[in-house]
Amino acid sequence: MDLHDDAAGAKEHACAEIASCESLEDLDSIRIRYLGRKGALTLLLRKLGQVDPEARKSAGKLLNEARDAIASLLESRKQELRERKYASDLSAGSIDVTLPGRIFSIGKLNPVLRVMDEILQIFVGMGFTPVEGPEIETEYNNFDALNFPPGHPSRDEHDSFYVDGGFCLRTHTSPAQIRVMKSQPPPVRVVVPGLCHRRDTPDASHLMSFYQIEGLYVDYDVSLAHLKGTLAAFAREVFGEETRVRFRPHYFPFTEPSAELDISCLVCGGKGCRLCKRTGWLEVLGAGMVHPNVFRQVGYDERKVTGFAFGMGVERLTMLKHGIGDIRLLYENDSRFLKQF
Ligand SMILES: [Zn+2]
């Protein structure tokens, strides 16, 4: 057995076959016959072990050279055959070069997140700093410290997801008020965006998880007028210069007095229509002056500091802004719906 002769012979045969090969399929079968797992060259390389050490070195070198030469010939022939096939397809008209290119669709932020960014930018422009709080919150921060007495309906298990050890999934972003005030002296001017969770049955206006933005401003001379001015400016920025606002008395445990902010109807401008249920007004958010009990919980002197807080549902604002009638549409991930925004 002479590996030198075998290698030279295999290389010669392979080169001749490759040169006369006329199709990509045939070329691949040549590759398998010589370089495949049971190919001629592969088998010869395996025999190297049986050759005496003297001859092994030169035989190995020769075999490797033969293998590399065959591989590079295969590659260049493949390229030639491909180009030839492409040219003949083109002249036969089986490739239509006038077809438009493939369009790859690029994802973008959900409209809710974009409205959230827009809202945050407006408040940042007014001097508020965005901060975040945890989604798993202590029951104390979520309820007690915010002046929700133990028997308050929001604490009922039907409204909250409880976690062992005195924790719950936060039902609003307001507990961040407690965290921020406990960590610094006044003044405080923050906005808190984040996901909240309640045991609601999903319908056209409710989801179990939703985004809120909380705002808090505490200082030594903050008044209701500041609250009204801030929110009126916000509403005009989001919904347009001509938007009118009104405050309607309301109740929240952690603010006193409390109010809900309505804006003039975006569809009828205040004349009354189906969207505003003939009232001419749309409810947008809740707000009020921080309750003295909340200041006591965080160690602020309630006789010296005053402040306001507000909270809004980002999905609700997104729906109003874009005229969306059902909150569930925002999260069904239907690209036909989402690409409108
Ligand atoms: Zn209306």
CATH of the domain at 134: 3.30.930.10
How much distance in Å is there from the Cα of 282 to the middle of ligand 1?
Answer: 8
Q: What is the pLDDT of residue 1?
A: 52
pLDDT higher than threshold 90 for residue 335 = no
Q: What is the pLDDT of residue 45?
A: 86
How much distance in Å is there from the Cα of 319 to the middle of ligand 1?
Answer: 14
pLDDT-derived band at 315 (thresholds 50, 70, 90) equals: very high
| Residue ending a domain, choose from 59, 92, 125 | 92
Weakest-pLDDT range from 157-166, 255-264, 275-284? 157-166
215 in any annotated domain: yes
Q: What is the pLDDT of residue 143?
A: 92
First to last CA, the chain: 76
**In terms of domains, do 115 and 88 share one?**
no
Q: Tokens 């075999």 — which residue?
A: 63
Can you tell me the mean pLDDT for 69-75?
93
Q: What is the pLDDT of residue 93?
A: 80
How much distance in Å is there from the Cα of 33 to the middle of ligand 1?
Answer: 79
Can you tell me the mean pLDDT for 311-335?
92
154, containing H or E segment: none
**In terms of domains, do 70 and 122 share one?**
no
- CA distance to 126, 166, 215, 283, 284, per residue, from 320 (Å): 23, 36, 20, 10, 9
pLDDT-derived band at 51 (thresholds 50, 70, 90) equals: confident
Number of domains in the chain: 2
**In terms of domains, do 57 and 145 share one?**
no
How much distance in Å is there from the Cα of 244 to the middle of ligand 1?
Answer: 13
- Predicted model pTM: 0.69
pLDDT-derived band at 252 (thresholds 50, 70, 90) equals: very high
Can you tell me the mean pLDDT for 60-71?
90
Q: What is the pLDDT of residue 157?
A: 66
**In terms of domains, do 144 and 64 share one?**
no
Can you tell me the mean pLDDT for 81-89?
89
173 in any annotated domain: yes
Q: What is the average pLDDT score of the chain?
A: 91
**In terms of domains, do 182 and 263 share one?**
yes
| Residue ending a domain, choose from 92, 127, 150 | 92
Helix axes 24-35, 40-47, angle to 10 degrees: 10
98 in any annotated domain: no
Q: Which residues are CB-neighbours of 336 under 8 A, at least 6 positions away?
A: none
99 in any annotated domain: no
256 in any annotated domain: yes
Q: How does strand 129-130 pair with strand 188-197?
A: parallel
**In terms of domains, do 156 and 302 share one?**
yes
Q: What is the pLDDT of residue 158?
A: 65
How much distance in Å is there from the Cα of 280 to the middle of ligand 1?
Answer: 5
pLDDT higher than threshold 90 for residue 29 = yes
Helix (H, G, I), strand (E, B) or coil at 204: coil
pLDDT tens per residue across span 215-227 = 999 999 999 999 9
**In terms of domains, do 145 and 175 share one?**
yes
Q: What is the pLDDT of residue 224?
A: 95
How much distance in Å is there from the Cα of 173 to the middle of ligand 1?
Answer: 30
How much distance in Å is there from the Cα of 283 to the middle of ligand 1?
Answer: 11
**In terms of domains, do 76 and 173 share one?**
no
Q: What is the pLDDT of residue 150?
A: 82
**In terms of domains, do 116 and 183 share one?**
yes
pLDDT higher than threshold 80 for residue 303 = yes
**In terms of domains, do 86 and 132 share one?**
no
pLDDT higher than threshold 90 for residue 103 = no
328 in any annotated domain: yes
How much distance in Å is there from the Cα of 285 to the middle of ligand 1?
Answer: 17
pLDDT higher than threshold 70 for residue 54 = yes
**In terms of domains, do 213 and 136 share one?**
yes
Cβ atoms 187, 222 nearer than 8 A: no
Residues 300 and 308: their CA atoms lie apart, in Å, by 14
- Residue-number span of the structural domain to which 46 is assigned: 3-92
194 in any annotated domain: yes
**In terms of domains, do 222 and 117 share one?**
yes
pLDDT higher than threshold 60 for residue 258 = yes
Q: Spell out the alpha helix ranges (H) of the chain.
A: 3-20, 24-35, 40-47, 53-92, 111-125, 139-142, 175-183, 224-239, 292-298, 314-322, 335-338
pLDDT-derived band at 78 (thresholds 50, 70, 90) equals: very high
pLDDT-derived band at 208 (thresholds 50, 70, 90) equals: very high
103 in any annotated domain: no
| Residue ending a domain, choose from 57, 92, 127 | 92
Q: What is the pLDDT of residue 156?
A: 74
